[in-house]
Chain A
Amino acid sequence: MIGASLGVAAYERAPEISGILAGARPVEDTRQARQSAKADAMLALSGIGISFGGVKALSDIDLEVKGGEIRAVIGPNGAGKSSLINIISGLYHADHGRIAIDGQSFSQVPASRLARLGVARTFQNLALFGGLSVRDNVASGRVYTRRASFVEHIANLPRARREDAGIAEKVDQTIAFLHLEAVADRLVASLPYGLQKRVELARALVAEPKILLLDEPMAGMTATEKAEMAGFVRAARDQHGVTIILIEHDIGVVMGLSDRVAVLDYGRKIADGTPAEVRTDPAVIRAYIGTADGEDI
């Protein structure tokens, strides 16, 4: 039953896949010279497992992400990609395993300290503050740097003013970086979907994180918007050196954008390597297009 439905899903995606398999998007593999693996890991997961009501969503996942790389995690629906990001950001508690963020090891990442640990994220379904303007939404990304109390805010004391000015400057830079100037003072709820996705990226980037977790940043976008978003993600890495973990459904975008790709299926990691390696991996082809004998299709 499950295999059959997966087969159908894979069948629908088949044209897209065959394009990739044919090497439609060549990727330079210079960065992938394997150096000392774990030594320079910005993020390392070891033996992560989680289950919901007896269903194993993730089992025994190891993932290692180097500083400054764009690391994609792909997989069919229900493969556990979002669970993985929710564990890294502390929203889910892993049943076992450890998470090391820039050298600090946790069995449970404290979500409320996530921003101070240098991790920012976006959400698969938009998680913006609809009652605030674009500018205020972006500014909220730096709330973790604020120290002034509400009394200082009401009385507009120097520290509150200084913080506001410092944050406003960073917000302006980020808004310019993501070309959001024209809508900066609009209520975020009044923007089209694609722009809201970009505002969410802005809110994450303004925090100047070391690690950026993107949960399907291009889901539901048009081809043009996807290309634009991919450009922003790459620019964020190139200009700010942020380490990016990218979960994405659109496998074409992933292959063109990422340095290394991990593939999940039914909560297990079935492949891990450069886009070129992953693209030819028989297990990946099986997960995405079904078995060779056509049983699942």
Chain B
Amino acid sequence: MAVQALDAARVPIDWQRLALPAVLVVVAYGLIPAYASSYLVEAILLPFLALSLAAVGLNLLTGYCGQLSLGSSAFMAVGAFAAYNFNLRVDGLPLAATMILAGISAAGIGVVFGLPSLRLRGFYLAVSTLAAQFFVQWALTKFGWFSNYNPSGVISAPHLIVAGFPLDGATGRYLLSVTTVIVLTALVWRLVNSATGRNFIAVRDNETAARVIGVPVLRTKLLAFAISSFIIGVAGVLWAFTYLRTVEPAGFNLDRSFQILFIIIIGGLASMRGAFLGAAFIVVFPLVLSRLGAFLFGGLFDSGVLDMSQRIVLGALIIIFLIAEPSGLSALFDRLKRRIGSRSS
């Protein structure tokens, strides 16, 4: 372990990265379906999984490729509504195909709103991705076709069936969600460790140098938008179909986009693990705060106070993270592990 601490600056070895995911798979498919209460699944794990996947998607674009986006929630909405419509209008379309088509729809929209990235950078790009946020929400509300002319605009999610097995129960939805997240995360993990992933990092770290050595900068940026939006789109399907069980434009507002951005800032940019740590934090934090508030202040701590204090504490935390630990929970985690490691040896 001491050697590991000395070599901290080196790039970690692959097998170490593989051990943790292996344990997680055992927990995800063995322990949780067997023992977790439906409250844990419905209120914590399902939103956690959907937000984690969205964060993995945004992290690919912002953390790895350096393109700041505030349109995540719009791409989630595109995914959710595309899945609803494919499911509604194409008879007998398998759920997996529905999700892939939803992802592709989100990727298409993502590429369109990624076009400004060819000219704009940083803050200006972030503002231009806001256009996606407002446009998508407007279009989904304006054109009734998207919600099948449902008078309230709120539609309930369809039955979830995979290969004849209904997955509408809490455990079934959990299994669908966790499988989707694992498969897509594994694919993204392979991508970021491939030559394409290194192109993303090259564009992020020095665009001019990347261009001169022959990285196709424009294509790389659009690819990052496409893949990122695909993943965020599928995350939108999970959010609407497995967690909320309804599909409505208002659920995918700007707050959600910020929430996903905060997840990757708190969790750690350009870190796969960071997306999950950040999402866990964002999901669990309000629950902890509400329990803690009720315990300390009793009846005074109502939902209004909870909402307000949640915003204040979260805002303060983000400022603290940006100043004290810009690499997020993921780096904090690493440092803790090293400290424990060096103490035990």
Contacts and interface: CB of A to CB of B under 8 A. Distances in A.
A116 B191 CA distance: 25
A200 to B, nearest CB: 9
Interface in B192-216: 194-199, 201-202, 204-206, 208-216
A154 B190 contact: yes
Contacts of B194: 150, 153-154, 160
B88 to A, nearest CB: 30
B9 interface: yes
Interface string B209-229: 111111111000001000100
Contacts of A121: 212
B202 A150 contact: no
B201 A131 contact: yes
B136 interface: no
Contacts of B202: 129, 132, 140, 143
B201 to A, nearest CB: 5
Sorting the interface of chain B by its residue count into under 10, 10 to 19, 20 to 34 or 35 or more gives 20 to 34
Interface in A118-148: 120-121, 123, 127-133, 136, 139-141, 143-144, 146, 148
Contact of B198 (A130, A139, A186, A190): A139
A144 B217 contact: no
Given A143-B213, A154-B191, A129 B10 contact: no
Contacts of A111: 211-212
B209 A128 contact: yes
Interface string A100-112: 0000000000011
Contacts of A160: 194-195
Given A115-B212, A143-B199, A143-B215, A187 B205 contact: no
Interface of B: 9-11, 187, 190-191, 194-199, 201-202, 204-206, 208-217, 223, 227, 270
Closest 10 pairs between A and B when the two form their complex, measured CB to CB? A144-B214, A115-B214, A153-B194, A127-B209, A129-B205, A150-B196, A190-B9, A133-B11, A127-B206, A131-B201
15 contacts: A90-B212, A112-B211, A112-B217, A115-B214, A123-B209, A131-B201, A131-B205, A136-B198, A140-B198, A140-B213, A146-B195, A150-B191, A153-B195, A160-B194, A164-B195
Interface of A: 89-91, 111-116, 120-121, 123, 127-133, 136, 139-141, 143-144, 146, 148, 150, 153-154, 156, 160, 163-164, 185-187, 190, 203, 207
Given A128-B206, A129-B209, A140-B199, 8 more contacts: A91-B212, A111-B211, A128-B209, A129-B198, A129-B205, A139-B195, A163-B195, A185-B11
